[in-house]
Amino acid sequence: MGVLQRIIETAQAAPKRIVLCEAQDPRVLQAAVRAQQERIARIVMVGNPAQSVAIASQHGLDISNIIFTDPATSEARERYAQQLYRLREKKGMTLQQAQLAVTQPLCFANLMLHMGDADGSVAGAVHTTADVVRTALQIVGAKASAGSIVSSFFLMIFEHEHHPTKGGMIFSDCGLVIDPDAQQLARIALDSAKSASALLGEAPRIAMLSFSTLGSAQHVNVTKVQQATQLVRQARPDLLIDGEVQLDAAIIPDIASRKLSDSQVHGRANVLIFPDLNAGNIGYKLAERLGGAVAIGPLLQGLNKPANDLSRGCNADDVYNVIAVTCVQAQQLQAQATSGELTSVPAGQ
């Protein structure tokens, strides 16, 4: 079974409430209808239902089974405004500003998630990544683990005939943290390992990427990756990790055997940690555009609850796939809460 099909079936086993705030976008409407029909999620659309009905009609979509919440008329509007005011009061927000802000679908959707009226959020088909991430940070909040950082990853699917190794990989960070220091890079790797465990159906095998392999070059950028690798090993001795390592040694066993005599990953990495956003963004787009991989994301990690981003160039399939991933993340969060593993910091920071 392919990685994506496994994710979809996992979502279908326990559908979660996923809120979508771009209710006037036909790609989002099409994905919402499909997700609802295939029972991967219980969809809630935030926006003006009359406008969405008109757009759906133009595109031949039946949205009669989709639940809509209009911020302008919702009974929850004042309750959400009061909560937003409490979250942002120390940052200078007035109650009147909060009451105006909750009329915006992106803000309203994140408040639904924060208040427990939804299990996950997906946005970004219309909104910029900066808007999506900022709103999530202000309302949903970041996890409280030591050195916590909100970062992003792409779930990359390699399933074409020309791909030498079939399956999924995690690429991080490809969309958010521009130039992480060693501590931040280590946290990105640790969070990406958790994402891999949740989504790939196999144990994470991490490669901390560089233009150097085990000291073959000396530079401050190499030192950063070396330090980050050691921090990951100290935090999680159980993880399989190679670093610093060049890409070919990370993913090709023959090259790994020549360059890395004591490798833990043996050229079979499924989590690639890029040293900065330049490398990560270029790397995932090369794999997608020239390599023919399916790129799902950017997906966010390090938040209290799953609030995921989309590329504004996405299509309906991309939105559907992110809905499925968000549902699985929500399932994982529920399982962690049940086991007592969760800690968090207040939103609004």
Query: What are the 10-residue block averages of pLDDT along the chain, 349 residues in total?
Result: 89 95 93 94 93 90 90 91 92 91 94 94 93 92 78 90 82 93 95 92 94 86 94 95 92 91 91 96 93 89 92 90 94 78 49
- The reply to whether 115 falls in a domain is yes
Residue 93, phi-psi category: left (phi > 0), alpha (psi -120 to 50), beta (remainder): beta
* Same-domain status, 234 and 282: yes
Q: Which domain holds residue 67?
A: 3-141+314-339
> What was the pLDDT predicted at 1?
64
Residue 344 in domain: no
The answer on 12 and 37 residing in a single domain is yes
Whether residues 213 and 119 fall in one domain: no
| Backbone torsions φ then ψ of 78, nearest 5 degrees | -70, -40
Which candidate, 161, 171, 154, places its Cα nearest to that of 251? 171
Question: Are 80 and 17 within one domain?
Answer: yes
Closest C-alpha to 6, from 251, 244, 200: 200
pLDDT of res. 85: 93
Residues 83 and 194 in one domain: no
Same domain, 109 and 156: no
Q: Count CA atoms within 13 Å of residue 172 on its CB side.
A: 30
**Collapsed DSSP state (helix, strand, coil) of residue 32:** helix
Count other C-beta atoms under 10 Å from residue 334's C-beta.
Answer: 14
Alpha carbons 53 and 312: distance in angstroms, whole number = 22
Domain count, the chain: 2
Q: Is position 297 within any domain?
A: no
* Residue 282 forms part of a structural domain: yes
Say whether both 171 and 281 belong to one domain.
yes
Give the model's pLDDT for residue 344: 44
- Residues 188, 122: one domain? no
- Report the C-alpha gap between 221 and 209 in whole angstroms: 11
Is residue 67 a part of any domain in this protein?
Answer: yes
Q: What is the pTM of this model?
A: 0.88
> To which residue do tokens 């499909």 refer?
34
Return d(Cα 221, Cα 2) in angstroms, integer.
36
CA distances to 122, 159, 198, 319 from 109, in Å: 9, 34, 24, 16
- Mark whether 183 and 252 lie in a shared domain: yes
Does the bond joining 191 to the residue before it have cis omega, within 30 degrees of 0? no
Q: What is the CATH number of the domain that holds 96?
A: 3.40.50.10950
133, 159: one domain: no
Q: Cα–Cα distance between 186 and 144 in angstroms, integer?
A: 16
* Residue 300 is assigned to a structural domain of this protein: no
Is residue 47 in a domain? yes
Q: What's the sign of the alpha-carbon dihedral 172, 177, 182, 184?
A: negative
Q: Quote the CA–CA distance of 19 and 22 in Å, as a whole number.
A: 10
**Among 316, 335, 294, 330, residue whose Cα is nearest residue 37:** 316
CATH number at residue 228: 3.40.50.10750
Q: Encode burial over 206-245: b for 16+ CB neighbours within 10 A, e otherwise.
A: bbbbbebbbeeeeeeebebbbbbbebbeebbeebbbbbbb
Q: What angle do CA 335, 341, 343 make, to 5 degrees?
A: 115
305 domain-assigned? no
Q: Are residues 24 and 131 in the same domain?
A: yes
Q: Is 284 helix (H, G, I), strand (E, B) or coil?
A: helix
How many alpha carbons lie under 13 Å from residue 24 in its C-beta half-sphere?
Answer: 9
Same domain, 113 and 168: no
Domain boundary among 253, 275, 290: 290
- The residues pairing with 294 across neighbouring beta strands, listed in sequence order, are 157
